[in-house]
Amino acid sequence: MKKILIIGCGLLGSSLLRRIAKKKIAKNIFVYEKSKINITKIKKLKLPGIIVKSLKDGVINSDLIIFCTPMSEYKKLILKINKFITPKTLITDIGSSKIETTKTIKKFLKKGIYWIQSHPITGSEVSGPEHGKENIFEDKWCIMIKEKNTLKNNLNIINKFWKKIGSRTVVMSAEKHDKIFSITSHLPHLIAYNLVKSAQDFEKKQSYGLIKFSAGGLRDFSRIAASNEIMWRDVFFNNKNNISKAIDLFIKNLNKFKKDINSKNNKSIIKKLIQTKKVRSKIIKLKQDINKPDFGRN
């Protein structure tokens, strides 16, 4: 590719920037970033690429545009780039939910312009270009969304791009994507936020400190509950139907668990705890986590 434009240079945008430069995937990389604080950081970090002040400068003649902003920014940005973009430019993104963004793209993107949605399964609880890492996508899944009218050629281009980045790619529908990630990602984040919130409520009510005793479990959840609030609000709102269903399933199971505990149902509890243990082995086997006790942190 001759020219790639990255819109939004936070954790993942800056990671892509670093990686594209390192792997020489494009001749020129342009970066559009609206936050002045981030621009200062990017300059200080001496990241590769050219910062453009206007979207127009970035969009014109680019082969690929990658949206790396929170999803709530898409509409505004689409309406702007519509003015300059031509069919020779392909668009992709890294958003964590897909049904709502599909609607936004269909409704607002200029006809004749193609956007293949992507979702690399990676990230961290920290935000900003200073935390980006060029190898953050390596061997991680990247989901690409295929719709009815998706052109095979465009899908191939985006697939090739992620392969060059180092991701493992897989194609699915927006509906399947949003269902799967409501369970493996969105619900876990919501649960983590909710657990930390409950600990805060409890601390307030009891008026003694308990956060200092969080090494017995709470600390793990607190990491996820420190994730970027704008990004996660967008995910929760965009995928609210699937997340609602996931919450209902979770509460149903939790009430059963509570009943088993209160009635000291040994058989049921032991069965549950043994079953869930197997998932960990599966996750390790599938290389979705490191094979070290306690994440190797001790």
Give, as ranges, the residues between 110 and 139 that touch its own copies (CB under 8 A).
121-126, 131, 133, 136
Binding mask 139-178 for its own copies (x = CB under 8 A): -xx-x--------------------------------x--
**Cα torsion angle, 205, 208, 209, 210, sign:** negative
Nearest CA to 143 among 165, 180, 123, 118?
A: 118
Binding flag, residue 218, its own copies (CB under 8 A): yes
Round to whole Å and give the CA distance between 12 and 34.
15
Q: Using CB under 8 A, which of the segments 29-37, 47-55, 108-116, 211-219 binds its own copies?
A: 211-219
16-24, 145-153, 155-163, 249-257 -> range binding its own copies (CB under 8 A)? 249-257
- Region at 267 (left for phi over 0; alpha for psi -120 to 50; beta for the rest): alpha
- Please choose, from the candidates 159, 118, 162, 154, the residue with its C-alpha nearest in 3D space to the C-alpha of residue 138: 162
Nearest to 137 by CA among 155, 153, 124: 124
Minimum distance, C-beta of residue 119 to its own copies, in the bound complex (Å):
9
By the rule CB under 8 A, 291 interacts with its own copies:
no
Question: Of 40 and 244, which CB lies nearer to its own copies in the complex structure?
Answer: 244
Shortest separation between residue 45's beta carbon and its own copies, angstroms: 16
**Judged by CB under 8 A, does residue 289 bind its own copies?**
yes
- Beta carbons within 8 Å of 62's beta carbon, 6+ residues apart: 3, 4, 5, 30, 89
175, two tokens: 């509906």
Backbone dihedral angles phi then psi of residue 34, each to the nearest 5 degrees: -85, -20
Is 10 near its own copies (CB under 8 A)?
no
Task: Candidates 17-25, 73-81, 101-109, 184-192: pick the segment binding its own copies (CB under 8 A).
Answer: 184-192
CB of 61 to its own copies, least distance (A): 34
